[in-house]
Each structure stands twice: as structure tokens, then as C-alpha cells.
Amino acid sequence: MKTYNVFEEQDWISKIQVNHPAVLRRAEQIQARRPVKKEWQAAWLLKAVTFIDLTTLSGDDTSSNIQRLCYKAKYPIREDLLKALNMHDKGITTAAVCVYPARVCDAVKALKAVGCNIPVASVATGFPAGQTHLKTRLEEIRLAVEDGATEIDIVINRTLVLTGQWEALYGEIRQFRKACGEAHLKTILATGELGSLTNVYKASMIAMMAGSDFIKTSTGKETVNATFPVAIVMLRAIRDFFWKTGNKIGFKPAGGIRSAKDSLAWLSLVKEELGDEWLKPELFRIGASTLLSDIERQIYHHVTGRYAAYHDLPMS
């Protein structure tokens, strides 16, 4: 991917302003929409499954629960439910699994054991705060890639945004890009900690100029995570960047997306703001740990007419 020198774009970046009331009005429109129903809903929910980065980022992660996560990534919806929808032979899996760097080897091994070739994504660079030394953050990326991660979800140092150090932010992300090698770089902006929608737009642009393959809303650990207003700003930054450069950059909302209804709203937003060409795993992901359970529950209800008990839909 071609990258751009932020020094040459400094005047343009400094003049950016986001129309906050207009963004809020657009967000209200999205939230007021009625979701699709019946067969259309089932189809869209199955599509949503293919965008999920199935995630576990807990302090008590072990090789056993990583194995369960990877099995669920390979078989996200019960086979009999897929057969009822005539979708059992479509190879539906989640888009990736996302884990801490120390668990990358476990995930690679578990996916290989179940015959699944979906990517392993690893958070890195001092996740979630991004406040460790730069040398440590770079080494964390390299180690995750060495262990088999093919996608790296990095976090930015929010201090650089809040103090307007755009050149320094660009420089750090460029180093992260280099450390990733052939792995995809997904840049987490932690939008709930950036102070304003204007900062969200500027950080989005800097991240894309520096070579990010995706921009991502949140770590899931902030007080405020993925929201429609910040998503609209990020999606329009992606659109503007595409118009300016011809490069298509992916979008990943994460944090607080737990219900099937939520996932449909996010798909609708991306479709309307960027078009159908962005509705594929190469350009759209949803970071989630519990969303898949609710989607499977809604598919179960669509097929059987009743809601599943907890034991009907185990994690694996």
C-alpha cells in the first residue's frame, strides 16, 4: 500500500473540522431504523457471522479456552440450524480469532487441529492503554508475527492525539507498519478517549496515511466504545481517503456490540456509508466476544420458533 508523508499534509490536517450536530442527526437516523425481518434477517445474521473477529482478551485465558474459541470460529452455528436454512455447505466461519500475544501459538495450533485456515489476530503495542515504551511495543508486534499472527490490532498512544502531535503519531504507526511485515495492520483509535469527533477524523486519516489496513473504533476496555457517531466520522474518513488516494481501508467497530440487532445496524451503516463493496471480511470486521451467541440464538428462534435454553447452544 502507498503511504503518505504527514509533513506534506500538515496544513490540510490542521484545518479539519467535524460538524458535530450533523453527525449526531445521522446517528439518530440509523438508530431509529426498523431491522429486517424473517428470512431477510436470518440471511443478514449469517452474513454478520462472517465478519466477526471472535475475541477473548481475558486475564484468565488458557490454552483450553483458546481451543474452544477456535472450534467455535470454525463451527459458529449449529450444523442442524444451517441445514434447516440450506446453508450447511457454504463454509460459514467467523472472519478471524483475536487473542493476546501470549496466546497466538495456542490459537494457531488449535485452528490447524480443526482444519481451519482463518487468520489469527493479536492485539499488541501495550494493549489496551498503549503507554509502554515504543521499543517494547514494537517487539511485541514482532513476537506475535513470529508466533503466527497474520493480523495485528495495535493501539495508538492517545496522548499524541490529545496534544496534537500528528507527526509523532504518524511516525509511530509507520514503525508499527514496518514491524508487522506481511501481517495486516489494524489500528485501534480508542475513540472514547480522543476528546472530540474532529480528533477521531484526524486520527483516522493519520492512521490510514501511515499504512493501516483497517481502522478500529475501540479496545473494548474503554468506558465508551463503539458508537454510531464515531463510526460515521471514521467511515467518512475512509470514504474521503478512498476518493483522495484510491486505497480502500477496512473498518472494525469493537466494544459493546453484543446483540444480533446491533450487528444488523452496523451492517446497514457500512452499506449506506461505503456501499456493498465494503461488506466483505477483507474490509469490514466486528470485534466481539458475546455477539455470536446472540446471533446463534436468533437463528435458533427463526428455525424452531422458540428461544434456546443455555445448554442448547454451548460455546463448543
Which 3 state secondary structure label does DSSP give 165? coil
- 130 CB neighbour count, 10 Å cutoff: 21
Biggest CA–CA distance in the chain, Å, is: 59
Mean pLDDT in residue range 187-199: 96
Q: Which residues contact 73 (CB under 8 A, 6 or more apart)?
A: 54, 93, 94, 96, 97, 111, 116, 118
Q: What is the structure's pLDDT at 7?
A: 55
What whole-number percentage of the chain has pLDDT above 70?
Answer: 94
Q: What is the structure's pLDDT at 15?
A: 80
Q: Report how far residue 152's alpha carbon sits from residue 185's, in angstroms, rounded to the nearest whole number.
A: 5
Mean pLDDT in residue range 210-235: 96
Mean pLDDT in residue range 41-49: 95
Q: Which residues contact 38 (CB under 8 A, 6 or more apart)?
A: 302
Band of pLDDT at residue 125, cut at 50, 70 and 90: very high
Residue numbers annotated as active site: 216, 252
Q: What is the structure's pLDDT at 9?
A: 61
User: Is the pLDDT score of 61 beyond 90?
Assistant: yes
User: Is the pLDDT score of 5 beyond 70?
Assistant: no
Band of pLDDT at residue 29, cut at 50, 70 and 90: confident
Q: What are phi and psi of 67, to 5 degrees?
A: -60, -45
Q: What is the structure's pLDDT at 308?
A: 81
Band of pLDDT at residue 10, cut at 50, 70 and 90: low
Band of pLDDT at residue 141, cut at 50, 70 and 90: very high
Q: What is the structure's pLDDT at 311?
A: 74
Across 80-110, b (16+ Cβ under 10 Å) vs e yields ebbebbebeeeebbbbbbbbbbebbbbbbeb
Q: Among 3-12, 75-84, 91-100, 216-225, which is the least confidently predicted range?
A: 3-12
DSSP 284: B
Peptide bond between residue 128 and the one before it cis (omega within 30 degrees of 0):
yes
Q: In 3D, which of 86, 41, 94 has the Cα closest to residue 284? A: 94
Q: What is the structure's pLDDT at 60?
A: 95
What whole-number percentage of the chain has pLDDT above 90?
Answer: 85
Q: What is the structure's pLDDT at 6?
A: 56
Q: What is the structure's pLDDT at 74?
A: 97
Q: What is the structure's pLDDT at 316?
A: 52
User: Is the pLDDT score of 242 beyond 90?
Assistant: yes
Across 277-313, b (16+ Cβ under 10 Å) vs e yields ebbebebbbbbbbebbbbbbbbbbebbeeeebeeeeb
Q: What is the structure's pLDDT at 13?
A: 76
Mean pLDDT in residue range 229-234: 97
